[in-house]
Amino acid sequence: MTSIPPPSSTKKLGLVIDLDICVGCHACAVNCNEWNTGGHSAPLTDKNPYGKDPIGVWFNRIHSFEISYDNDDNNQGQTVHFPKSCLHCEDAPCVTVCPTGASYKRAEDGIVLINADRCIGCKLCSWACPYGAREFDDDAGVMKKCTLCIDRIYNENLPQAERKPVCVSTCPANARHFGDLGDVNSDISKLVAKRDGYALMPEQGCKPVNRYLPPRAMKYTGAPKKLKHMGGDIGLISRMINKFMPTSESK
């Protein structure tokens, strides 16, 4: 049923992503694809992988943004790497628009999943998601999305330490955290409270579960912007060119 079920527990499993730490290495995206092409929604389409225009389904993507301040005398922009996957919304619009009941939200832990056997591939859920969390698999003719590694987090064949989403366990910088955001006393809820974690596009009204931790403002280190020429013999002609030719480099 594609109504949002009344939660059977307070559990809201989700991710917390620390934008202050993420270095944009894409390891989480690569390992996500590696695990999930053999997991719950396997296989993930991977068309023309070595050709000119490879295209395929990925559950996790790392965007990169730059923040700039026009009153910054030191003209320092700040680069922020921004991983994005399904936010497992409490009021998931991708679930309620589904005409067949394929798209559903689990009452017990809030994970949003797709039952591939019921999906007719109408793509409406991907239109309803403001975040672009869903990707259509045109080999299978069905929609696919992040499963929060449901085949890992409850997998008793894995050692306890590995029972978390693969993007979390693979992150070399520890920028991703997994846990119960419905429990205010959980480690990640405390982390969110401490670091002023926020939700993406709250105005869309989907009540996403995942939280992002804001990057701290950069401090000016006092390092010179342009390296000075440290002397040494560069030759007469080079010196003349350096001195008299107009420079195309902006200030």
Partner 1 sequence: MHPAKSVIFFTTASGAGYGLIAIIIIANLFGVIAANIGFAIFSYQLLSFITAFGLITAGLLSSTFHLGQPKRALMSFSQWRTSWLSREAVMAVITYITAGVYGVYFCFSPDILSSKSVVMLIAIAALLSCVTTIYCTSMIYASLKPIHAWSNKFTPIGYLIFGLMGGVIILATILHIYDKANIMLDITVIVFSIIGLIFKLRYWSFIDHSKSISTIHSATGLGIFGKKNKDGKIAKVIMLEPPHSQNKYLLNEMGFKIARKHAKSLRLLTVILTFIAPTILFALVIIINQNILIAQIMTINALFLAAIGIFCERWLFFAEAKHTVTLYYGSHNV
Contacts of partner 1 in 156-195 (CB under 8 A): none
> Which residues are CB-contacts of 159 (< 8 A; sequence separation ≥ 6)?
none
User: What's the gap between Cα 87 and its chain centre?
Assistant: 9
CB 54 within 8 A of CB 48: yes
Which range in 162-170, 179-187, 215-223, 236-244 contacts partner 1 by CB under 8 A? 215-223
Selection from 14, 21, 31, 26 nearest residue 166 by Cα:
31
Minimum distance, C-beta of residue 118 to partner 1, in the bound complex (Å): 6
Q: Among residues 13 and 57, whose Cβ is nearest to partner 1?
A: 57
Choose among 169, 165, 211: nearest CA to 186.
211
Q: Which of residues 63-102 bind partner 1 (CB under 8 A)?
A: 63-71, 79-80, 82, 84, 93, 95-102
CB atoms within 10 A of CB 86: 26
List residues bridging with 143 in a β-sheet. Answer: 136
Q: Are 100 and 124 in contact (CB under 8 A)?
A: no
- The helix/strand/coil state of 117 is coil
- Among the residue ranges 105-113, 128-136, 152-160, 164-172, the one whose residues contact partner 1 (CB under 8 A): 128-136
What track of x and - describes contact with partner 1 for positions 106 through 125 (by CB under 8 A)? ------------xxxxxxx-
The reply on whether position 23 binds partner 1 by CB under 8 A is no
d(CA 227, CA 250): 14
Element (H, E) at 114: strand 112-114
What minimum distance in Å lies between the beta carbon of 108 and partner 1? 20
Residue 108 or 196: the one with the smaller Cβ distance to partner 1 is 196
Q: The tokens of 58 are what?
A: 């990925």
One residue of 1, 161, 236, 237 binding partner 1 per CB under 8 A: 1
Residue 163, SS3 per DSSP: coil
Out of 113, 135, 169, 176, the residue judged to bind partner 1 by CB under 8 A: 135
Which distant-in-sequence residues (6+ apart) come within 8 Å of 127 by Cβ?
97
**131 binds partner 1, rule: CB under 8 A:** yes
**Shortest Å distance, C-beta 123 to partner 1:** 7
Selected from 6, 50, 53, 225, the binder of partner 1 by CB under 8 A is 53
CB of 21 to partner 1, least distance (A): 15
Q: How far is the CB of 43 from partner 1 (least distance, A)?
A: 15
Stretch that binds partner 1, among 34-42, 58-66, 160-168, 219-227 (CB under 8 A): 58-66
